[in-house]
Amino acid sequence: MKRDRKTVDPTIWERDSIIWYSREITRRLGAKSFAGYVSKFGYGNADVWDRRQE
């Protein structure tokens, strides 16, 4: 689903919680790489498991 996709950089992405941007970055990195970055950054609770694949 395409919605209004304005020009985005990481500061805007974080400030405005732009979901499509987060999903696109995650998709491009791949699950394993994304999980590695989350772990290295110490971001949140590091739970990056995709519950849609249950």
pLDDT at 42: 82
Mean pLDDT (the chain) is 78
Q: Which of 23, 17, 18, 19 is nearest to 50 (CA)?
A: 23
pTM above 0.85, yes or no: no
pLDDT at 4: 64
pLDDT at 39: 87
Average of per-residue pLDDT across 22-38: 87
State the Cα–Cα distance between residues 4 and 46, nearest whole angstrom. Answer: 29
Does residue 28 surpass a pLDDT of 90?
A: yes
Tell me the pLDDT band of 51, cut-offs 50, 70 and 90: low
State the Cα–Cα distance between residues 46 and 3, nearest whole angstrom. Answer: 28
What residue segments make up the domains of the chain, in order of their start?
A: 8-40
